[in-house]
Amino acid sequence: MAIIETENLTYTYPGATNPSIRNVSIKIEKGEFVLITGPSGCGKTTLCRCFNGLIPHFYQGKLEGEVFVAGLKVDEHSIHELAKHVGLVFQNPENQLFALSVEKDVAFGLENLGVPRDEIRRRVDWAMKLTGIYHLKDRAPNELSGGQQQRVAIASVLAMKPEIIVLDEPTSFLDPLGAENIFKVIYELNRKFGITIILVEHRLDLTAKYADHIIIMDNGEILLDGETRSVLNSEKARLVGVGIPKATRLYQILKKDRVNLRSTIPLSSDEMAAMLEEVLKSK
Amino acid sequence: MIEVKNVYFTYPNGVEALKGVSLTIKDGEFVAIMGQNGAGKTTLVKHFNGLLKPTKGIVLVDGVDTRKVSVATLARKVGFVFQNPDHQLFSETVEDEISFALKNFRFEAETINKRVDWALNLLGLTRYKKTSPFMLSGGERKRVALASVLAWNPKILILDEPTIGQDYQQKEKLRHFILQLNAQKKTVIIVTHDVEFVAECNPRVILMSNGEIIADGEARKILTDPKIVTEASIVPPQITQIFIKLKNYGFPRDILDIYEAREAILNSLRKGFK
Ligand SMILES: Nc1ncnc2c1ncn2[C@@H]1O[C@H](COP(=O)(O)OP(=O)(O)OP(=O)(O)O)[C@@H](O)[C@H]1O
Ligand SMILES: Nc1ncnc2c1ncn2[C@@H]1O[C@H](COP(=O)(O)OP(=O)(O)OP(=O)(O)O)[C@@H](O)[C@H]1O
Ligand SMILES: [Mg+2]
Ligand SMILES: [Mg+2]
């Protein structure tokens, strides 16, 4: 069975007239790196909230259809129980921070799971170093800059090392080098430890190259779902107006100009530069 | 005009966030402030509307020392959109949120209605007019925060991370609108990590690191300089990166966008076929 599977999932927030996601049926396999994108307001965050049980346990509303996460039927298991399998980095980091120091915030989830003290120490230090906040460990989270807070939110989920990590625009407040580093860290966790990654992002320039699988949503529904290169090269993806990576766009334009580029679609500047180099060398 | 003269700022917890910053932003300029997390960008722009006052040094807005006027007085001239929309939104409906400042500044009822509808439309929020801002998605909330300031058309506009949570089409709309404001001689100051957005706007870029300004110039010059960019924890735009990797092929080194890239490549191939 897939590690996450939804069947005809439809959800309406309390007080809302229309569902925010409709008939969503997707499958995410263990160890995949999945990118979820689509216009602002299309339902990405809502879908993520179904993966860790915030929907339907915290946001009540009306849930129809099924969600299974790590073999558990989400509506039959508590948020606490699901947290052993899924970690969610919230879109707004402030909603995730509450402790008196950065270090305590990062340790909070592990303490809750009853992990031994020295193991907590090790994992907290590891996560703080990976996210570049070790020097801030004694600071109060509410006295940090936006990007520093977001790093704390990421660290507190990484420290848990859950088998599924869901990240909802996790680097929107990060400086560009910091964002690149975080994506590399996530990618490494995915490749080395087989952690399943679900990343919500608008900025495909930065992230498409890491994804095996991309899901594009529009207006509460799944518009496209498949292998990254073929989805991003499709006409539908262009029409819905997701920001296709610039390297991919340049490739498409040069192909129209009949430049003799290889037929695999590039997703990054590295891939595009390598393809251009082949053409430039052979001229 | 905004004049910042040798400004230092220390938070109550002892963090020195600004260490001798000086700069001048003239009327009608479009400026992007960029740089690493914790560099002091938000702290700096909060000085432009008097939310923070310098520990040492002076900030003048149109010649007025910000220590000598209230935030409310400055607010009439300087519109400020916070990095995190949740610090800004408080009304029960999107409409109330957007009309709040307009009412405060005593615009006429008819003008208020017109401006609210205009702002809703600009930011793609028309269908949420009667909705609570707290029932909106992250990107939608940011757009409400933007709408509530754009609606009253301040002379100086400060947008802390305006593109956060926005999809490509929303960003395009925002970009066109900012350029339009700029053509009307409004001052627009954005704080942003969005390199691709800056590459497409080509404003004046001010890079900060560690409480100081480390570079100031045209986006094209700054974003295509690999050394200075790394110093500020920035990564060049994707198109520029392609040409950094192709540096041995004699391309111009300041290519920023797809159209310039296309032309440069086609030119180079044509030469080869002669
Ligand atoms: N708490 C809520 N109550 C009611 N409606 C909500 C709530 N949160 C979101 N919505 C609505 O549900 C829809 C989907 O919102 P969601 O937050 O899932 O979008 P998103 O794709 O994550 O957008 P963004 O890219 O802007 O973050 C939107 O129309 C939004 O207005
Ligand atoms: N309210 C506060 N109290 C104490 N220190 C603060 C406060 N806000 C920010 N700081 C500290 O001041 C420094 C500058 O923060 P500022 O928010 O100006 O950075 P920034 O450049 O906007 O960063 P980011 O890109 O992460 O938003 C940082 O070291 C930060 O930790
Ligand atoms: Mg969202
Ligand atoms: Mg900031």
CATH of the domain at B197: 3.40.50.300
| Cβ(B184) – ligand 1 distance below 6 Å | no
Which ligand minimizes its atom distance to the CA of A42?
1
Mean pLDDT of B251-273: 89
Token duo for residue B246 = 């192709």
- Which residues of chain A are under the pLDDT cut of 70? none
Considering only the beta carbons, identify the residue of B13, B86, B268 that sits closest to A280.
Answer: B268
pLDDT tens sequence across A65-108:
999 999 999 999 999 999 999 999 999 888 888 888 999 999 99
Q: Does B24 lie in the same domain as B12?
A: yes
pLDDT for the residue A282 = 83
**Is the beta carbon of A41 within 6 A of some atom in ligand 1?**
yes
Instruction: Give pLDDT, residue B124.
Output: 92
In the predicted structure, residue B273 carries a pLDDT above the cut 80 = no
Contacts of A138 (CB under 8 A, 6+ apart): A101, A102, A103
The answer to whether the CB of B94 is under 6 A from ligand 1 is no
Task: Say whether B169 sits in a helix, a strand or coil.
Answer: helix
- Residues B65 and B161 both lie in one domain: yes
Does residue B82 belong to any structural domain of this protein?
Answer: no
Ligand 2 site-directed mutation target among A145, A151, A152, A175, most atoms within 8 Å of CB? A145
Question: What pLDDT, on the 0 to 100 scale, is given for residue B108?
Answer: 93
Which residue has the CA at smallest separation from atom 1 of ligand 1?
B135
Task: Residue B131: give the domain boundaries.
Answer: 87-153
Q: What is the pLDDT of residues B141-163, one digit of tens each?
A: 999 999 999 999 999 999 999 99
pLDDT of residue A187: 96
User: Quick one: pLDDT at residue A240?
Assistant: 84
Q: What length is written for chain A?
A: 283
Task: Provide the CATH number for the domain formed by A2-230 in this structure.
Answer: 3.40.50.300
In ligand 1, which atom is closest to the CA atom of A47? Answer: 18
Q: Measured between CB atoms, which of A94, A145, A247 is closest to B37?
A: A145
Question: Is B119 in the same domain as B219?
Answer: no
B6 and B64 both lie in a single domain:
yes
List chain B residues with CB under 8 Å of A168: 138
Residues B124, B4, single domain; the answer is no
> Is the confidence at residue B15, as pLDDT, over 70?
yes
Residue B272 — very low, low, confident or very high, per pLDDT cuts 50/70/90? Answer: low
**ipTM strictly over 0.95?**
no
pLDDT at A96: 85
Any chain A CB within 8 A of the CB of B242?
A: yes
pLDDT value at residue A239:
83
> B72 and B195, same structural domain?
yes
CA of B47 to the centre of ligand 2 (A): 13
Rounded average pLDDT over B165-178: 92
B73 with B1, same domain: the answer is yes
Question: Residue A184 is encoded by which pair of tokens?
Answer: 């590399």
Could you tell me if B2 and B73 lie in one domain? yes
Q: Are residues B29 and B140 in the same domain?
A: no
Q: Is residue B256 part of a domain?
A: yes
Segments of chain A assigned to CATH 3.40.50.300: 2-230
Residue A141 preceded by cis peptide, ω within 30:
no
User: Structurally, how many domains does chain B consist of?
Assistant: 3
Whether residue B18 lies inside any domain: the answer is: yes
Collect all residues of chain B within an 8 Å Cβ-Cβ radius of residue A248.
none
The predicted structure's pLDDT at residue B274: 43
